[in-house]
Every structure is written in structure tokens, then in C-alpha cells.
Chains A and B, each alone.
Chain A
């Protein structure tokens, strides 16, 4: 889908704002290479060439000054090039990374649910770095390599064309060797990577699930498997490491052959072309220049070969980055309406929904959540309750049917406007790394410390917060520090701060201790007072006190009504209730 050409074009677009600096840097790069290659030319052709009959020290002054000024200029060019190039490339990298992150903020939830977060995270972090390492770094190496090769050719042909020809004829030798080594090592690395993957899988499972391993006495079996894979990894590893370590010696070999030929032929030329002994110094000086070029000749090839693997990797990374950046956005907000929610009513009309077309998750769901009424959603796991909430919050769009908020189809309302009026607490809470204060304030920018504290008190969270090491200033994190129940209390405090007209709540099923559970329940009740609420209910008290109970099974509403009605009906709810 993304050809190399297309990707390069797009990278150029990112480079465009910095094109002036990049072009100047590339010119400096050419100048640096010129100086780098020209100084030995002066040493050979103009200095060593002097060492003969009638040499005087004064003859050295001009070439030495010339060589030194070129060196100094080259150094300045080199430094400026490094500066300009690095500043611009890191800015390009920054722009690409910002684009990926921006995308994550604007992607529909469905996309984020359908992709592994670890994978998306890699795209934002590692893949972008890889683009720097491979594409941008690689590009400069290749550019400089090519410039070096061309300049070397020019200098050589200008000095003595037939010796230059010897070098050119031998060039394919190093190219062919480099090609085969790269190909071979790619192959053996692929084998190694496959075995390594197997190993990763095993180690991951076994170390993470050590308790299960011990409880079921799987140690011996696993150790055998581990040893077997480790043995294969060793064999593959020896091959991969050996083959890949050939790159340097083989190019060095090619270079040595070229060097031997240039030395021999160059000196033969000296004898052949010198009409008298007086001409020896000049010709030997020339041969010396050639020997320098010959010793450095394969360096650019080497460097280019070394960056090709990185380059291939970075194209793979770039592809993954563009895939992310090009993913379809959420609805554009501009054409949609703001909505003023006064009553707080949802009306769900005959909605159907499927994540994948062939598997319907919700089938013909209709009900109304009227002003200040409590609706309880009840049913076995997998019946579609959570999916329904996703639709109400418009994280997903219905497949057919419509959802109305305050009489307006939610597809016509700005999602931001909808979410301002509908508050939600999920079982999977989310906190960011920061103080408790900031975590609660997250719901409403600019609220004062007092407001936050009042909200926390209302949410029954104040007591446990005060017991934290630094109270409201304690830094908390999604992963550590707080229990599930405490995290949920913080999330409830957030809602206490904004007090939206409609509430969507998901009662926790497990892993919350009784006291916290009671606190959460009280907070929920306070929150639900004088508000419309839709609750995924697990607790009988919540269910019993609901104005409307929706019993769902396999994506359908199979019963609805209040507790007494449903008990009288002697249906599924009755059975469920009596299972207690």
C-alpha cells in the first residue's frame, strides 16, 4: 500500500519547513568531503613530490599553508554541517511524533480498542526513533558516501586516468561481496529472530505465570522445552553472528586487493613514465595520493552497506507510522450542533450494533431513560451491557437505529458537547501520574483546591486521601499506590466536580473491600439523586431501587419493568434473583 516512493515523498513533506537548512547542510557536506579528499592530494602531489634533488625547505611553505587552510575550512564546514543537519532532522522527528500523538487523540475509540495499545505505543515511540536512525541518519550516510565515491573518482581521474581505471575495474568486487554478505546475514538473522520469538513466548509465559507453573509442577517440562529452544537459538545465533561479522573483513579484503593492485601498478607506472631520475619524486608523490585513495576507497561502500539494514527497518517503521496517521478520524465536529441538556433524557430506538458485520452484539434495543429516573442494566457477562454504554457515549456509532439525547439524534451532536452533559464512571478506572489534586481537577480545569476537596468529600474519598503520605499532594499513578476501589472513588470525585445531568455508571464486580464498597455505594446514591442515570448493575439493592430494569441476554432485551413487575412475571429475572 505504501510504496517506498510514496513514503519518501511524504517524508519530504515533513522536511519541507526545514529545507533551507538541509540544503545548506548538504552543500557543507559536499565541501567537507572535498576538503577531506583534497588534502591527501596536496600531500602526495605537491609535498612528497618535492622530496628529490634540489629540495629546499622554503618550497614547503606554500603547499603546507594551502593544505592547512583547506583542513581548517573543512573542519568548519564539517561542524556546521553536523549542527544544521542534526537540528533539522530532530525537528522533523519531533513533527512526526507530534503527528502520531495528535492522531491518537483524534482517533475513534473503536480503532484504539481494535489495536493493541503496546503496538500503538511502539509506533509513537520506537518507530519514530527508528525513522531517525535509519532514514535520516542513513540518508546522510548514503549521501555522503555517494559524494565521497564520486569525488574520489574525479580526483583520481584528474591525477592519472589509467591508475584510476584499475580502481574502477575492481570496484564491483567489493560491491558484490557486500551484497552477498548482507543477503546471507539477513537470512540467518531471520532464522535467529524466529527462534528468539519462540523463546520470548516461552519465557514470558513461564516467568509471568510462575505460580501456576509451581502449582502444577510444570518446572521440569518447561526446563526441557527451554533447553531445547536455547540449543536451537545457539546454533542459529552462531550462524547469524558469524555471517554478520563477515561484513567488515570481507570489505577489508576487497580493499586490500585494490590496494595491492594500485600499489603495484602505480609504481610500475612510475618506472614506465619516468624519462629521467628527476621525474621520480613527482610520480611517486602521485602514487602516494593514489595509495591514500585506495586505502579509503571502500569506506563509503562499507558505510552504505551498514546502513541498508537500518534503512529497511526504518521503512517498515515509517509504514507503520503512516498507517496510524492515515487512520480515519472521528467525526468532524464542525458540522455538528452544540446541545443544551436540561431534562437529561435518552431515547434509544431500535438500535442494532456489530463490531464485525457478521456478529451482531446488540439486536433491536429500545428503551427510554427519562428525566431523573434510574435505569438498571442487568444480564450475564457478554450480553452487551458495556457495548450499549459505548454507544450512549458515542465511542462507537450504531449500525442502525438511533439514539436521541434531549430529542436530538446524537449523530448530529458534537461528541464534546454530548460528553459535557453525560458523566461516566467505568470499572476500569484511569488515573494519570500526578497529584491526587490534579487527578480530580482533571474533570474541570481551573477549579480551586477547595472545590476539589468538596468534591472529594462528597465522593467519600476525602478520608482515605488524607491518609496518603502527602494527602492531596501525593503523586499517584494508574499502576500503583491505590487499590481499585480507591481509584474508583477518585473517579467519582471527578464527577462530583462537574455534576453532569446524566450519569452512566458501571458497578464494580469484585476486588473491592466491603468498606470501600459501601463508600462507593453511598457516593453513587448521592450522585444519582435528581439525575438521570443508567447503571450496569450487579448489586441487588441498586437493581431493586431502579425505576426501570432492563434485562439483557445475548444482545437482546428479554424483559423490562421494575422489580415487582419482573418478579411477578416469573421469567428470567425471577430465576436470576432467586439464584441468590
Chain B
């Protein structure tokens, strides 16, 4: 946490120092008050030799007290404003950095942190830390200054009683931190039990049909009651221990105060103490008590900020494993556009090879099908071609150059990839299509929608291209999403089109139409599918199995010689040359 504070607060060092000074000033005003009251009691009211009108002197003192209150308020306002400015600027800088940093990471790094967790890091963790910064300036500085200041004041008034006050402060701190330390592991257990209850609820929502199909409502309820009981037990325990703090502080404070009274009595007899002094002690006493109590809130906040900071650090510590070259233009001199040479890849060191020694070439204008079961490495192949990851060994060439030679973004501009998972953004269909190519004309878009077999349903929405897509495209069916994704890739109009199992939700007929239209485009096209029917017309079919390229050929060739391909076709009711 210190590291992050240093990194982001150095810029605002001046403000932090100013804030601290203001806070000290604010406390100073407050610490003066009991001194003035003491003066009013001892030197005005009880002073038999006082010269002049006592009442007007008291009113003057009252005026000073009000002036101190105003000064205190103004100082605090400035301090709070500075705290807010620094905290927000801190949060803003950190968020920006995080976001930019995440953008530079390759998937190899991103895979280590789940996306949900990345989002919390940008959103929640930075806010926690920013609240921490604000609180530190506002309150953390305040508490020790008050405690130290008030103790010093007590020593000034009467050093013997000063020791009692110091003893009280120490005992109070021990009590509070003792309770807190006892509570920390319990709080952790509360979280575990709460997660359990949440999980059961989630399972029952997701599995509602199955729970009903097997008539398991009673069983599920018992499971939940059990979890909730455990949660309630631990929560109650935590709360009861927490609720001890208030009465115990009360006991401690009063016991010490009464002790001070008793000791004061003995001093009073020898003339060592005045009523003004006692009054001042009581006031400082209250101030210390309030400051210590306030610092307990700080402790929780601090713990939160600390946890957040280590999570933020984790992300910032990730270094991108991708390095880029300087070639900023793609030149197509060779008929071979894509070439894999002995490519192997592992997602991480412990994983099995996702691709092993794969070599093949694709010529411009070819349509290439890629088939294989789950885990055969089809999507990995596309990930590598897009440079979401770098090969572990071997090389990939695009237009006769290693993909690692291109400057950032150059390669991606040449590929229009449609991912397996259809993704659309919040906004109208038109805006989404223009994500493919900013400034694309409506005509281009309509043409792309037509090829992607999406014109009909877009028209049916009644709003056409202005139809708004909700978050996560909840108002579209799976098939509709896939078709819009294909359309967006077509709008991009890149030389290479890649379809990663991206028409699986379409019925056979629509898919056949789509394939027919794509064929007419005469682009280099890569089609990945689990269905043989989607790729059997391709110029070339790659058959993958467990990361290995086991055969390459046309449908007829493979049907005749490749056992796996044959098996796939048979299981999908496709016969040899029937449709070619």
C-alpha cells in the first residue's frame, strides 16, 4: 500500500502536507477550549482579587470560544476539501493507469486474473483506496494529534494527573485493539459462511427447473437452513463481542475519572489543584475517548484499503509478454497469405500443449475449414493468428512476415475475426456495425447484414439499424447475435475473414444460405466448426485432434482416408461425396 501511496501521492505532496497542517491547526483550536474554560473558572469566577466586571470578562471569553469554533470550522472545511481533491485525483490517476495497463496486457497475463475480478479491481478497489486516502487525511491525522495534544495539555496542568490520563489512553487502546484482533478471524469465517449461503441460493436459481423436476424443494430448503444457521451463529457471536466495546469503554472511562477525582481530592487539600483544572481534565478526557473510538472506524477502513491495494498491485505488477516489431504496413507479394511453421503452444507452463508442432499454409482467396472436437486446438489456432497470445515455439507468418514483426494493431486490421462467443456492445445496431469500421455507410452496413442473413430480423424490429441493443445483448436471441457478429466482421471488410464456430445457433437452412453468400465474396476465409456440414465445401480442411494437425485435404480425400474425419461425418449423418 505504501508503494501505491508513494507512487500516486507524490504528485500531491504539497496538498497532503497542507492538509496535515490544517488538521493540526483544527485540533489546536479544540485543545485551547478547556484552557479557556479553566481560565474562566479559576481566574475570573473564583478569583477574589479579580479587578473589573467579571461578567463582561466572561462574555469576552465566550466571544473567544465562538471565534475558536468558527476558526475550527473554517480550518476543517479547507482540510476536508483538500482531502477530497487529493483522494479523487489519486483514485482517478490510479484507475487510468490500471485501465491503460490492462489494455497493454496479453491474454497470457489476463488469464491469470478473471475478468470479474479485473472489473472489481478497477471499480471497487480503487474506490476503497481512494476512501482510505481521504480518511487518512481527515481522521487518521486527527486522532493521534488529539490524543498526544490532550495528554500534553494534561501534563502541563498537572503532571501527576497527566499520568492517569496517559494510563487511560493506553488501557483504552489495548481494550479496543484486543477486541478487534479477536474479531478479525471471526469476520473471515463470516465471509466463508455467507459465500456458502450465496452459493446455495445461486444454485437454486440457476437450477430451478431441475430442482422442480426432481421435487427437491424440501431437500434444498434444509440445505439452506443449515447454511443460514451457521451464518447466524457466527454473525451473532461477532456482534455480541462488538457490542461489549461500548459498555466496557464506559466502565474504564468512569473508573479512571473517579480515580482522578479521588486523587484530585488529596491534591486539593494541599492546594495543588483547582476546580478549573479538574474541569479541564474531564474535557480532555472526553476528547481522547472520542478520538480513540473514531480510530476504530479507521482501522476497518484501513484494512479494506490495504486488501484493495494488494489486489491493485497484483494487476500493475503483471508485465505484458508481447513485444511488437516496427513494420506498419502489410504487403501482399506472395500468394501464400498465412503460414504456420512448427507451431506449438501452451496456455501456461503447467498445462498440456494446446497445439503441438502444427504446420500448414493458406493461399489468398482460399476457403479453409477447421474441424475437431472440443479441446482439439481450433480456437487456440485463431487466438495465435490474432496474436492474443504468442506461440511457445515455431512461427506464424502473415503475408510473408512473422506476426511478431508488425507494429501494434497492424495485424488486427487485416483480419476480421468472429469469435465463438457472440459479443455486441451497448448501443444501436448501426453503432455496433460501425465498430467494424468507423464511418461505414448505411449501404455498406445493409449489404453486410444481408450477407449475414440478418436483414430480415433487423427489419422486423421496426427500428431497423437504430434498434438499440441492451447490455449483453439480452434482447437478441443467440442466433441473432451470431449473425450480427458476422455482419460486423463483414463491415470491417478485411482481407481475411475468420469464423470461429460462429453460426452454431443457426438452423441448417439459414446456415446454408450464409455459406452460399460468403462463398461469393471471394475472400480468404477460415471457418471453424464442429459440424462437418459447415466446412465440407471448403477448398481445404484441417482436421485437429488434441492439439495435433492430423490431416489436411478436401472433404472427399479426408472422408476416404482420415479415420477421425470419417467418424465425425458418420456421427453427423454425412456421407461421402453426396453433396459435393
Contact = CB atoms under 8 A, between A and B. Distances in A.
A262 to B, nearest CB: 10
A175 B58 CA distance: 28
A398 B413 CA distance: 51
Interface residues of B, number: 155
B180 interface: no
Nearest to A91: B232
A430 B423 contact: no
Contact of B247 (A78, A102, A226, A272): A78
B258 interface: yes
Nearest to A483: B374
Given A32-B247, A203-B123, A380-B507, A256 B88 contact: no
A509 B282 contact: no
Contacts of B376: 513
A213 to B, nearest CB: 8
B275 interface: yes
Given A117-B205, A230-B95, A75 B247 contact: yes
Contact of A48 (B96, B228, B279): B279
Interface string B217-254: 10111001100110110011001101110111011001
A532 to B, nearest CB: 16
Contacts of A257: 66, 69
Interface in B293-335: none
Contact of A219 (B83, B103, B372, B415): B103
B574 interface: yes
Contact of B73 (A72, A106, A120, A249): A249
Nearest to A74: B250
B201 interface: yes
Among A35, A209, A423, A521, find the residue whose CB has the most chain B CB atoms closer than 10 A.
Answer: A209
A422 to B, nearest CB: 8
Nearest to B130: A237
B441 interface: no
B51 interface: no
A575 B37 contact: no
A151 interface: no
A207 interface: yes
A405 B211 CA distance: 21
Nearest to B504: A510
Interface stretch (A288-296, A340-348, A368-376): A288-296
Interface in A339-360: none
Interface residues of A, number: 157
Given A124-B201, A201-B426, A267-B40, A381 B505 contact: yes
Contacts of A491: 210
Contact of A381 (B83, B413, B506): B506
A242 B567 contact: no
B217 A106 contact: yes
Contact of B211 (A74, A79, A105): A105
A64 to B, nearest CB: 6
B571 A514 contact: yes
A98 B220 CA distance: 11
Given A78-B250, A234-B91, A521-B571, A48 B374 contact: no
A6 interface: no
A284 B214 CA distance: 79
Nearest to B409: A217
Given A101-B221, A242-B84, A205 B45 contact: no
A203 B229 CA distance: 37
Interface string B74-99: 00110011011101110110011001
Question: Chain B: interface secondary structure?
Answer: helix
Given A78-B247, A249-B76, A105 B217 contact: yes
A270 B72 CA distance: 28
A380 B84 CA distance: 58
A48 B254 contact: no
Nearest to A540: B573
A517 interface: yes
A234 B508 contact: no
Given A75-B251, A86-B239, A217 B45 contact: no
Contacts of B250: 35-36, 71, 74-75, 78
Contact of B419 (A51, A120, A211, A265): A211
B84 A238 contact: yes
A261 interface: yes
A309 interface: no
Interface string B474-489: 0001110000000010
A332 interface: no
Nearest to A71: B254
A448 to B, nearest CB: 18
A580 B536 CA distance: 11
Contact of A86 (B107, B236, B266, B286): B236
Contacts of B530: 510-514
A57 B257 CA distance: 16
Interface in B347-388: 372-376, 386, 388
Interface in B16-47: 30, 33, 37, 40-41, 44-46
Nearest to B531: A510
Contacts of B279: 48, 288, 291
A187 interface: no
B208 A234 contact: no
A223 B103 contact: yes
Nearest to B294: A248
Nearest to A63: B261
Interface stretch (B114-122, B160-168, B552-560): B114-122
B182 to A, nearest CB: 15
A455 interface: no
Among B194, B374, B415, B530, find the residue whose CB has the most chain A CB atoms closer than 10 A.
Answer: B374
5 contacts: A47-B261, A296-B286, A381-B505, A430-B207, A514-B373
A-B pairs, top 3 by smallest CB distance, nearest first, are A82-B243, A513-B373, A78-B247
Given A237-B130, A285-B275, 4 more contacts: A82-B244, A105-B217, A267-B41, A432-B203
